[in-house]
Structure 1
């Protein structure tokens, strides 16, 4: 059974040069596209906030450990929780999004490039892996709190590598595959006063309760 899965590795024998990123575990394309020397640190060297201006921050070593091992996350359903290796990654979308947010924000702080390197490499590798899932036809759709957080690592990796293909996957107009896009919307003037599309009933289903399907493309 995969329930209670512990550690999972994604080892492979590849003809890689020093500093190359592992190809995604998902899909058949195992081409090595990027090296750590391609990372554009200028994107994260102008901090939005200095560490001495905030009360608390996660330790880099704790964050590095959270992203040390592969996050196995290629099933586009809430049952993906059953294949998340507990020694590799958080289980639920809330904690996944929290870990990703903490890492992304920490990379924007005024650490030196050398101090950021380990976390940055591991975070970008996650972005590469998630991009591989998306490229192979996967996604993380509207399932309440389950599928949050997966878009940002792809987007950051695309920016840091200046990789147009990764950035395109994160474009909701072309690839409507992320919960962040499917369950985030802006109320327009014409929306005010419209009848409720899906009202809660006394016998409401789990779909009603979690509001999983209250989205539509215009």
Structure 2
């Protein structure tokens, strides 16, 4: 199953663009860090650029998770149902592959910090937890929009929430009020607390982990009841 998911991922044209984005951003971040680290503006903006790179990548992960399901809905539905006896088996290879993909990509962006083991571990852990939330969101989206052609459009709402947080954190002097009940604010702030330890975080990794795991379980349960148990007929 994992091999099949890898092949499907490689053949996806959107994934090719995402890989190009990963290479361009990670190379640029490393060049700035190793070649221009003494410049004041690099020291100030490099953490923000790194956070931007990873958060946008996780936002794309949201679409990738939804597209995996919509592809099965439109193509090999019967085969998927015969080879996956339960919803865990159906999602395991898909989501493990996406998580590995995002963790490797995130590490490429923090190679300059590789000598700080604690920072790297925390950065990857926040990325893992945030990725679980985005994958769960993609699962729920796929049950609503159904078709790949609509996934990108529907995902723009999620992107709007994410960019709202990014703008507020990158330009704090703008004094922009947060969007009420924005589910992504706490996760994105966790990245900034890693770079700005002088500002005490107002949430713990334990809380973020519990939220992510609970949301993921709920998403899979809803998918099982509304979609999987009905033979993927929405």
TM more than 0.5:
no
TM-score (norm 1): 0.26
Q: Which has the higher contact order (CA 8 A, sep 6+)?
A: 2
**Structure (1 or 2) with the greater helix fraction:** 2
TM-score (norm 2): 0.25
